[in-house]
Structure 1
Amino acid sequence: MKPLQISPETALKLAEKLNVPLEQLMHMPQHILLQKLAQLNEEENK
């Protein structure tokens, strides 16, 4: 599995928002990352 194709700035912001270490974020499968982002978005919209 290759690392996510995102910029360093985006990676830092996502790691901070999702409360996960940067290394874990970069090796997270893309479908899991998208699922976590969807959950975060739902929580913000409530």
Structure 2
Amino acid sequence: MRPLQISPETAVKLAEALQVPLERLMHMPQHILLQKMMELANQEKEANEAANKNQE
């Protein structure tokens, strides 16, 4: 399996956001990475919605 074709900066940011080691991220299958990114986006969306409700 080929490593992901992403920039080093993107890889570091994703590894930090997903809380996985950089080496594991680079060899993660693309479909699993996309699934984890979707989960992260949903969590951020829910957090933003909760913050907006608290401001009202």
Normalising by structure 2, report the TM-score. Answer: 0.81
Unaligned runs of at least 5 residues, structure 1: none
C-alpha RMSD of the superposition: 0.3
Matched, 1:18 2:48: no
Which structure's residues are more often helix, by fraction? Answer: 2
Q: Percent identity, aligned pairs only?
A: 72
Normalising by structure 1, report the TM-score. Answer: 0.98
Tell me what 2:5 maps to. 5
The number of aligned residues is 46
Per-residue CA deviations over 1:7-37 (Å, capped at 9, x if unaligned) read: 0000000000000000000000000000000
Matched, 1:40 2:51: no
Q: Which runs of 4+ in 1 moved over 3 A?
A: none
* Larger RCO of the pair (alpha carbons < 8 Å, separation 6+): 1
